[in-house]
């Protein structure tokens, strides 16, 4: 008997992509709790591993080696990932507020956001210096500074272990570049008090050997473009200033109504805050029963306890206590490939300790680089013929990659009887109809997408922009919309939450396009599907596929590659930053582009049949051919890399068969990649094309002239 998927009944929201949550997501992917819907919220697609920061600064690691890819990790865990900044938690309303989107509801939440720096409070710091966290901006500024020529002057504020590791790494990197450098570590008290005297002496000697001056018991007055000025009047030369001191909690935590200690969330031995539905771990939490210093080792050790206790809060198991160890192994980088190890008052230093530290760090990161491959369930032993072929080699793509091939739909539509109403004119290649109502000309179209990401808000944005594409491609102004929503099986509470997210987002996108949502229909199914039926008004005749003239320039308003990037995301091989960049392109509306392309002779939106398929449709309808300049065709970040690895959207082979005369391999393969919410493709008179392209770029579109229409039928590539 076929069992439908189990319904979703509880929302678990993970705020922040810190080390505890990263390990928890990995564990969840291997042992999910049926019925729980997991959401991870983080400002960007990656979370840096701070343990390797000094190694990166010294030049021992590449920048990418420090990143935990949260998009890949969320896909592995079956979680939705929301890339955005949390602005607060409403603990009574059970909602998390995220910048620029509807609130995210939760039944159970966990906070693992780390800490921020209060360095920018120093006069002149925000103008002339860069905090060591967040890592992204710091890494970019440091790489730029390191690659300059001439003498260097660097100051690091904060004489704890983090500051000492940072200044030694910088000294080592500058020495390798053979740059004369003056480096200073500044602290307002005594440096290195968290380590034992023997270890502190070893670190001080390492700093001295690297030519670093340590200034202690010194208060900073202000920072200028090339100096740190102390309150006693001393001026320390520094044209690169950073800070690794003053750990402070994020400001929004103060307004949660949770019990805090110095701004950090107080948690008990179960990692539960004063509100039993909200947990916290890592540096943002204060362990009230066993206070411990802020150190990554505790965040890592908390992960298995948090994993079990969140499941208990969601309805399964019994609570476990977290017992932090009294002391832990401190491994401190000494600039070069040498490190100091300290535990229980004993310390050792040298290259062997660096090898040990590197082994521990790489082992931690490999947990996220090499996620276990979870096997698909085997086919039943007895099944009807054709099952293997129908299933295909890989899971079906969502979005436009899940579309029925062009041939199947066109064949069936062409067999339908011709319309008998005089006021309805089908526009077959445009997936639309022209309705004549009195003197008004109205176009009507319908589109839907099968969910390919777990976030209903982002999915709705993409589906709305995608459906509006048909209206914009005809040069029409969107007028009215109805929504069709299929939700996966879920409890009534989760249905209400999800529908609220979907409809408030749909209303926002459709209204921004100048139209109104007037109703819709919802039902339950095996998976999420979101669609829209739309009408639009034309001031003049609609722009169709059939008006292109030989010699017209072809303009494309968005890069290609969404099909291959999202197929790569589903397979767990696309980098998170590629996915984030592709999603940003997909949610970009084309209304302003449509208005600037009002003089086009023919226009279409590039969607499921790929650029080659849609261009061929335009060529055939217009009775001419087209020549493409493959080099000029813009592509999304990561699309070429994934395509070269053989990643393909489900619809690729069907699309390839539409234009067999074109070559395959390399960039050409992206011509057959199905696009979701793709760009507009317009045939514009050649004498207007450059001006139109310039206007589109000014309006924020990555518009490019990619070829022209020709006399000879068919498609060709310019050599």
CA distance 355 to 342: 15
Q: Look at residues 587, 532, 510, 467 and name the one whose alpha carbon lies nearest to residue 83.
A: 587
Q: 516-525 and 477-488 as β-strands: parallel, antiparallel, unpaired?
A: parallel
Q: Read off the tokens for 514.
A: 């100048």
Is 400 annotated in the active site?
A: yes
CA distance 218 to 220: 7
Q: Look at residues 201, 179, 180, 206 and name the one whose alpha carbon lies nearest to residue 191.
A: 201
CA distance 91 to 225: 44
- Backbone torsions φ then ψ of 316, nearest 5 degrees: -140, 125
Q: Read off the tokens for 679.
A: 């760009």
The beta strand positions in 594-696, using DSSP E, are: 602-605, 625-628, 680-684
Angle at which helix 70-77 crosses helix 19-30, to 10 degrees, equals 30
* Residue 374 contacts residue 29 (beta carbons within 8 Å): yes
Sequence-separated (6 or more) residues with CB below 8 Å from residue 504: 102
Sequence-separated (6 or more) residues with CB below 8 Å from residue 431: 445, 446, 447, 470
CA distance 188 to 690: 60
Sign of the dihedral through C-alpha 193, 195, 200, 204: negative
DSSP assignments along 381-419, one per residue: SS--TTHHHHH-SSPPP-GGGGSPPHHHHHHHHHHSPPP
Residue given tokens 């006069």 in the structure block? 123
Indicate which residue of 284, 400, 624, 693 is catalytic. 400
Cβ neighbours, 10 Å, residue 624: 21
Sequence-separated (6 or more) residues with CB below 8 Å from residue 53: 66, 132, 135, 165, 166
Helix (H, G, I), strand (E, B) or coil at 2: coil
Catalytic (active-site) positions: 400
């Amino acid at each position: 008997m076929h069992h439908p998927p189990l319904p979703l009944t509880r929302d678990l929201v993970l705020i922040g992509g810190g080390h505890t949550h990263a390990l928890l997501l990995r564990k969840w992917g291997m042992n999910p709790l049926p019925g729980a819907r997991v959401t991870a919220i983080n400002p960007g697609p990656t979370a840096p591993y701070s343990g390797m920061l000094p190694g990166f600064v010294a030049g021992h690691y590449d920048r990418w080696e420090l990143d935990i890819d949260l998009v890949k990790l969320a896909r592995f865990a079956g979680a939705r990932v929301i890339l955005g900044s949390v602005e607060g938690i409403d603990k009574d309303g059970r909602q998390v507020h995220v910048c620029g989107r509807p609130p995210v509801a939760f039944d159970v939440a966990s906070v693992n956001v780390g800490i921020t720096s209060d360095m920018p409070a120093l006069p002149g710091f925000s103008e002339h210096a860069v905090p060591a966290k967040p890592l992204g901006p710091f890494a970019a500024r440091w790489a730029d500074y390191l690659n300059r020529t001439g003498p260097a002057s660097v100051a690091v504020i904060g004489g704890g272990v983090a500051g000492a590791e940072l200044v030694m790494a910088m000294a080592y990197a500058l020495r390798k570049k053979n740059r004369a450098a003056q480096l200073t570590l500044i602290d307002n008290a005594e440096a290195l008090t968290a380590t034992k005297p023997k270890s502190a002496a070893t670190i001080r000697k390492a700093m001295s050997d690297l030519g670093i001056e340590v200034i202690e018991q010194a208060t900073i007055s202000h920072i200028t473009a090339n100096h740190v000025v102390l309150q006693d009047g001393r001026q320390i030369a520094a044209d690169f200033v950073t800070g690794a001191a003053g750990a402070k909690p994020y400001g929004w935590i103060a307004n949660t109504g949770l019990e805090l200690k110095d701004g950090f969330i107080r948690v008990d031995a179960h990692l539960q805050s004063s509100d039993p539905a909200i947990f916290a771990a890592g540096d943002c939490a204060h362990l009230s029963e066993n206070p411990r210093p802020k150190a990554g080792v505790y965040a890592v050790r908390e992960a298995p306890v948090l994993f079990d206790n969140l499941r208990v809060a969601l309805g399964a198991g019994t609570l476990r206590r977290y017992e932090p160890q009294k002391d832990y192994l401190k491994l401190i980088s000494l600039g070069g490939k040498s490190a100091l190890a300290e535990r229980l008052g004993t310390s050792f230093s040298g290259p062997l300790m660096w090898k040990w530290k590197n082994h521990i760090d790489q082992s931690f990161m490999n947990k996220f680089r090499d996620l276990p491959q979870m096997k698909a369930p085997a086919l039943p032993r007895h099944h009807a013929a054709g099952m293997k072929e129908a299933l295909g080699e890989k899971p079906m793509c969502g979005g436009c990659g899940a579309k029925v091939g062009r041939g199947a739909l066109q064949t069936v539509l062409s067999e339908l009887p011709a319309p008998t109403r005089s006021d309805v004119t089908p526009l077959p290649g445009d997936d639309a109809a022209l309705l004549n109502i009195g003197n008004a000309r109205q176009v009507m179209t319908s589109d839907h997408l099968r969910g390919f990401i777990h976030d209903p808000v982002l999915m709705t944005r993409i589906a709305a922009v995608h459906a509006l594409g048909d209206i914009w491609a005809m040069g029409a102004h969107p007028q009215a919309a109805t929504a069709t929503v299929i939700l996966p099986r879920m409890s009534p509470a989760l249905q209400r939450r999800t529908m609220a997210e979907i409809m408030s987002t749909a209303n926002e996108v459709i209204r921004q396009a100048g139209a109104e949502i007037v109703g819709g229909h919802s039902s339950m199914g095996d998976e999420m599907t979101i669609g829209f039926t739309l009408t639009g008004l034309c001031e003049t005749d609609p722009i169709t596929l059939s008006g292109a003239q030989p010699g017209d320039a072809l303009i494309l308003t968005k890069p290609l590659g969404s099909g291959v990037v999202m197929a790569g995301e589903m397979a767990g091989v696309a980098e998170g930053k590629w996915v984030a960049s592709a999603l940003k392109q997909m949610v970009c509306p084309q209304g302003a582009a449509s208005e600037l392309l009002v003089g086009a002779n023919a226009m279409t939106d590039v969607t499921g049949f790929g650029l080659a398929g849609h261009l061929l449709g335009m060529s055939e309808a217009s009775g001419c051919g087209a020549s493409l300049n493959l080099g000029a065709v813009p592509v999304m970040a990561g699309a070429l890399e994934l395509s070269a690895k053989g990643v393909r959207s489900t619809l690729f082979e069907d699309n390839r068969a539409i234009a067999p005369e074109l070559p395959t391999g390399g960039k050409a393969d992206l011509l057959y990649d199905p696009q979701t919410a793709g760009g507009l493709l317009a045939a514009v008179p050649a004498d207007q094309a450059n001006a139109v392209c310039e206007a589109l770029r000014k309006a924020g579109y990555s518009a490019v002239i990619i070829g022209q229409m020709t006399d000879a039928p068919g498609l060709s590539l310019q050599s």
